[in-house]
């Protein structure tokens, strides 16, 4: 038996403008510039230039398909009077007025550098195609983590090129002869072998090749006693051999000097610039390459003309005007989203700088206070997810260097005096202890617990282990040296 019943449900729906704002908050400055260029190409109703004030015609246009023409109001989240210590600037200068301290990089990427070397090889067209395909499968660290068999199968479907496992192995060997040394290896052991093979074959280098080839597992686990017995050498020789190995690059892809921070979009361009004038801090948005945007006047005039003369319009005319209206709405939403993004970023960054004012004046990590996303959310009135989006992949340029915005967030704990301290302070103590330890007898996590206790920090061993892992510091056994 079927039943009909009414049910009330409360749902929150995001408007197109709100969706635009959410997407805009997540992207850093470089990606925003690209996003604007893309929107300018795709939407003819959007153009560069300062906004021109026009007499808006009330929009009540709709067709049978049910258009949603709701306007979205954007409130200003923080007035100038609410910012006692910091000025609010947009820094909308011309494209030529670049901040002199903003870093940039030019030149080829790592993969382009490899392909450029292929052009100097005396090989057939097919071998060149296969070589470029193999290079395309090398990751940013310089490793080829795919098997020859898998690439043989894939290149048939992707490029229609028939080859064999032996031919692919030959191409891989060819790629491994390119610079930097160690590139194209399947794993760390093979990469170290390739690098040692190119070095002058001294007594120590030959022993290093033997060690990596026959005792790599013992080397990885730092079981030096087994290596000494197996290779029949003493501590002095092993130390020289280890020196040869330590100076090799475990990530050959990052060794190429022309590839500056390729993993983070080839460069770090700060989203914010902090200026310090006698301890008066000014937060600026780095908008030098972001153009002013406005709705195309031709499209706007076209729609206003129709809005003032709606009688006796054909269906084709209404369809055309609906298209124009959609493009104008999209342009308005995009412009409003950009404005909302800039306001939200500035408001959030000002709150962070205000919270961590002592650090931004002194530049010393010990001045960083415990700060979590909720702290800034409470100050700004934004949702925690908004603060998270603003903090993600954003950087600020200060007189002490460029920092990721996430750097200023840290957990807190209470010391034995009842004072709330940042976990960053504890991590700094761990770093200092480990840097100054006897490498023949590295400090264990249990011993680190004791060190912290003497300084007033009562922390469990598992917590020390967690902080150590967050700092990418291996366990004591792995830090042992001969």
Indicate whether 431 pLDDT > 80: yes
Mean pLDDT score, 370-383:
91
Question: Which of the four pLDDT bands, split at 50, 70 and 90, describes residue 307?
Answer: low
Q: What domains appear along the chain, each with residue ranges and CATH number?
A: 14-90+266-410 (no CATH), 110-254 (no CATH), 412-479 (1.10.10.60)
Q: Does the pLDDT at position 389 exceed 80?
A: yes
Q: Which of 317, 306, 322, 288 is nearest to 45 (CA)?
A: 322
Average pLDDT rounded to a whole number, residues 132-145: 89
pLDDT band at 43 (very low <50, low <70, confident <90, very high): confident
Q: How confident is the model at residue 172 (pLDDT cuts 50, 70, 90)?
A: very high
Mean pLDDT, the chain, whole residue set: 78
Q: Out of 4-8, 22-26, 132-136, pick the least confident.
A: 4-8
pLDDT of residue 100: 42
Distance CA 386, CA 373 (A): 9
pLDDT at 98 over 50: no
**Do residues 343 and 77 touch, judged by C-beta distance below 8 A?**
yes
* Per-residue pLDDT tens digits for 179-205: 889 999 999 999 999 999 999 999 999
| Stronger pLDDT, 466 or 167, i.e. the higher one | 167
Q: What is the mean pLDDT of residues 219-223?
A: 84
In this prediction, residue 86 has a pLDDT band, given cuts at 50, 70 and 90, of: very low
**Per-residue pLDDT, 85:** 34
Quote the percentage of the chain above a pLDDT of 90.
Answer: 23
- The per-residue pLDDT for 71 is 35
What pLDDT, in 10s, does the model give residues 315-337?
Answer: 776 777 788 788 888 888 888 88
Q: What is the pLDDT of residue 63?
A: 33
Has this prediction a pTM greater than 0.75? Answer: no
pLDDT bracket for residue 2 (50, 70, 90): low
Whole-number percent of the chain with pLDDT over 70: 76
pLDDT at 9 over 80: no
Beta strands at 272-277 and 87-89: parallel, antiparallel or unpaired: unpaired
Q: Which residue has the higher pLDDT, 259 or 284?
A: 284
């Amino acid at each position: 038996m079927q039943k009909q019943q009414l049910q009330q449900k409360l749902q929150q729906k995001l408007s197109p403008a709100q969706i635009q704002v959410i997407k805009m908050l997540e992207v850093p400055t470089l990606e925003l510039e690209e996003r604007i260029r893309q929107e300018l190409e795709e939407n003819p109703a959007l153009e560069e230039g300062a906004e021109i004030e026009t007499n808006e015609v009330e929009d009540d246009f709709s067709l049978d398909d049910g258009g949603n023409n709701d306007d979205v109001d954007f409130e200003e989240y923080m007035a100038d009077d609410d910012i006692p210590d910091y000025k609010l600037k947009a820094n909308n200068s011309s494209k030529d007025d670049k901040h002199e301290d903003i870093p940039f990089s030019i030149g080829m990427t790592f993969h382009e550098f490899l392909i450029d070397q292929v052009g100097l090889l005396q090989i057939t067209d097919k071998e060149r195609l296969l070589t470029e395909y193999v290079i395309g499968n090398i990751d940013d660290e310089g490793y080829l983590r795919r098997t020859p068999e898998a690439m043989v199968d894939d290149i048939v479907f992707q490029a229609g090129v028939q080859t064999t496992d032996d031919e692919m192995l030959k191409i891989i060997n060819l790629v491994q002869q390119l610079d930097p040394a160690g590139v194209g290896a399947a794993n760390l052991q093979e990469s170290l072998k390739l690098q040692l093979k190119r070095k002058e074959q001294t007594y120590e280098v030959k022993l290093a090749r033997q060690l990596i080839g026959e005792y790599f597992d013992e080397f990885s686990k730092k079981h030096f006693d087994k290596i000494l017995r197996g290779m029949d050498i003493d501590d002095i020789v092993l130390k020289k051999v280890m020196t040869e190995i330590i100076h090799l690059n475990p990530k050959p892809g990052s060794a190429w000097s022309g590839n500056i921070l390729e993993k983070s979009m080839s460069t770090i361009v700060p989203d914010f610039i902090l200026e310090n004038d006698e301890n008066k801090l000014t937060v600026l948005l780095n908008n030098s390459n972001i153009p002013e945007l406005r709705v195309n006047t031709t499209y706007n005039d076209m729609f206003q003309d129709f809005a003032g003369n709606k009688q006796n319009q054909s269906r084709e005319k209404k369809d055309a005007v609906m298209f124009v209206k959609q493009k104008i709405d999209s342009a308005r939403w995009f412009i409003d989203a950009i404005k909302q993004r800039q306001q939200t970023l500035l408001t959030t960054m000002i709150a962070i700088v205000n919270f961590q004012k002592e650090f931004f004046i002194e530049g010393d990590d010990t001045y960083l206070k415990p700060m979590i996303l909720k702290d800034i959310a409470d100050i700004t009135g934004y949702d925690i997810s908004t603060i998270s989006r603003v903090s993600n992949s954003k950087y600020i340029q200060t007189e002490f260097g460029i920092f990721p915005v996430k750097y200023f967030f840290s957990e807190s704990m209470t010391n034995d005096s009842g004072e709330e301290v940042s976990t960053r302070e504890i991590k700094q103590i761990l770093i200092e202890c480990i840097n100054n330890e006897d490498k023949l007898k590295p400090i264990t996590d249990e011993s680190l617990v004791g060190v912290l206790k003497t300084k007033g920090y009562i922390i469990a061993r598992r917590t020390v282990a967690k902080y150590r892992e967050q700092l990418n510091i291996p366990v004591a056994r792995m830090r042992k040296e001969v």
